[in-house]
Amino acid sequence: MRYAMAVDTLRCVGCSDCVVACQTENDVPIGHCRDWIVEKTTGTYPELQLEIRSERCNHCANAPCVRTCPTEASHYAEGGIVLVEESECIGCKACITSCPYDARFIHPEGYVDKCTFCIHRVEKGQNPACVSVCPTHAMIFGDLDDPNSDISRAMATRKWKSLIPEAGTDPKVFYLI
Amino acid sequence: MIEEIITSGRMNPEIDPILHVWGWEIPFYLFLGGISAGILIFSAYFTLRGRQDELPVAVKWMPLAVPFLIGIGLIALLMDLSHVLYFWQLFTNIRWESPMSWGAWTLGIIMPLSIAWIATWIEDIFPKWDWKFDEVKTAIDWLKDYRRYLAQILILLSVILGMYTGILLSAFNARPFWNTSILGPLFLTSGLSASAALVSFFSKSEVEKRLFTRIDIILIGIELFMIVHLFMGHLAGTQVHIQAAQMFLGGAFTVPFWVFVVGLGLLLPVVLEILELKHKFIPAIVPVVLIVAGNLMLRFIVVNAGQASRWLY
């Protein structure tokens, strides 16, 4: 089991529904976010290119946050999902500085918080909240080890990229381009 | 011309727009840890060389400061933890890959060992010292028999402590400026240099003063060499490493680093120390203050610059 997510940049319109769904589902404290929208414009007017991405923790297979955590609070859960165990986190912030995507933040209660791929929903066979609400069906979640899963099919038939693969993190969130 | 505009809905406090999760606590602790490591290395090394009576400040007096320096450093570290009530989790786990874990364990072992080290010297420093309880005196006398082994362990642990203050940062490949293994040796050398300067300042013996001034000059030379190599490495690296180096070569950190750390913290004191060795009159406090301040500033600048450097995507 290797959970992964693919975001179709040709479908994403940047409506932020995924961000709101995450905040509601996971009770993310006001002023913080576990997922966010990046709009990247390249070129000089009128020759412009626009890419819109819904971003979050990349649930890296070689996660620097897990490596640098001194207490095993940051760990790999089933399917390679990277999680933080609140009661083991001391708030040293080594994981935050080690993340090239800046995907983690300090919860107002002191521990470090981030996207969980909605593991509590995934365990029940549901999609993460952001994927379920996406109005353009731009996001796909599933198991890379299953060749017939939607995500494996999409990755096999579409061009895709991941973010800063040169950082050596082996990210598990992909962007269809 | 290609313009690239990135807008993001993310504004997490202390993360955006520029990462700043580590404030004054971490560089201040790195500074105290470096000096403590330097003091213990000199003390243990010259004990092994049998020069304890010739170099009393370096061997016997300076270690008295170590438990206090490490203690203050630990308080700073605890103040940095945002989930501080769970700090004991550091000592229920051993994580080989985490520099933070190495640091916690090294500190946990070096703190009692440095106190034991002082205890073996305390009767030399204060001849009227009385341990009050015979059991304590017997234990300390037993320790004295094993002083050589204690010194060897202390050197090993102190080198780990001094190096780790830099490795802690260089283990983060997400922050290109830190991502160079030379930070470990650089911080170790700079900690040794500050403690050598402190020994030559506090010493009353001409032999000890001159020896430690000479040691300090060599250490500063090595430090300058490593700083040049730090930038050579970055400039020969990838785009993000080049951009990280440029923060110091025209960017925001240029003046604080080259004027205060390199100019006032390394070059000026090394010139003053050379003049001192040539028997010119230099007020002893001037080079030591410059070196210690430069040491502190180096760590503040490196910690802040690392957090300001990042991958672009």
pLDDT of residue B6: 65
pLDDT, averaged across chain A: 95
With left for phi above 0 and alpha for psi between -120 and 50, is residue A27 left, alpha or beta?
Answer: left
Tokens representing B285 are 């406090």
Q: Which of B82, B84, B89 sits opposite A88 (nearest CB)?
A: B89
* Domains, chain A: 3-176 (3.30.70.20)
Q: How far is CA A141 from CA A63, A79, A152, A153, in A?
A: 19, 12, 10, 11
Q: What percent of chain A has pLDDT over 70?
A: 100
pLDDT of residue B94: 92
Reply yes or no on whether the pLDDT at B120 is more than 80: yes
What is the band of A13 on the pLDDT scale with cuts at 50, 70, 90?
Answer: very high
Reply yes or no on whether the pLDDT at B173 is more than 70: yes
pLDDT average, residue stretch B50-77: 95
For residue A51, the SS3 value is strand
pLDDT average, residue stretch B248-264: 96
In this predicted model, what pLDDT tens digit does every residue of B5-22 receive, in sequence order?
A: 666 678 899 998 899 999
CA proximity to B163, closest of B268, B250, B272, B34: B34
**Which phi and psi (to 5°) does residue B70 adopt?**
-65, -40
pTM of the predicted structure, to 2 decimals: 0.94
Q: What CA–CA distance (Å, rounded) separates A10 from A154?
A: 13
pLDDT of residue B175: 95
Q: Are B297 and B256 in contact (CB under 8 A)?
A: yes
Reply yes or no on whether the pLDDT at B3 is more than 90: no
pLDDT of residue B167: 92
Reply yes or no on whether the pLDDT at B215 is more than 60: yes
pLDDT of residue B9: 79
pLDDT average, residue stretch B95-113: 93
Q: What CA–CA distance (Å, rounded) separates B292 from B310?
A: 29
- Of the residues B12, B179, B239, the best mutation for testing chain A's interface (the one with the most A CB atoms within 10 Å of its CB) is B12
pLDDT of residue B242: 96
Residues of B in contact with A44 (CB under 8 A): 1-3
| Closest residue of chain B to A28, computed from CA coordinates | B12
Angle (nearest 5°) at CA B229 between B164 and B191: 35
C-beta pairs of A26-29 under 8 Å, 24+ apart in sequence: A26/A116, A26/A118, A26/A129, A28/A113, A29/A107, A29/A108
Q: Are B300 and B23 in contact (CB under 8 A)?
A: no
Q: Tell me whether residues B174 and A88 touch, CB distance under 8 A.
A: no
Reply yes or no on whether the pLDDT at B1 is more than 60: no
Please tell me the distance in Å from B269's CA to the nearest CA on chain A. Answer: 34
What is the band of B59 on the pLDDT scale with cuts at 50, 70, 90?
Answer: very high
Q: What's the fold here for domain B25-308?
A: Formate dehydrogenase/DMSO reductase fold (1.20.1630)
In this predicted model, what pLDDT tens digit does every residue of B174-196 receive, in sequence order?
A: 999 999 999 999 999 999 999 99
In this prediction, the answer to ipTM > 0.85 reads: yes
Residues of A in contact with B101 (CB under 8 A): 70-71
Q: Which of A37, A68, A92 sits opposite B9 (nearest CB)?
A: A37
pLDDT of residue A21: 95
What is the band of B211 on the pLDDT scale with cuts at 50, 70, 90?
Answer: very high
Counting every residue written for chain A, the total comes to 177
Q: Tell me whether residues B22 and A102 touch, CB distance under 8 A.
A: no
In this predicted model, what pLDDT tens digit does every residue of A18-77 receive, in sequence order?
A: 999 999 999 999 999 999 999 988 888 888 899 999 999 999 999 999 999 999 999 999
Q: What count of other Cβ atoms lies within 10 Å of the Cβ of residue A136? A: 12
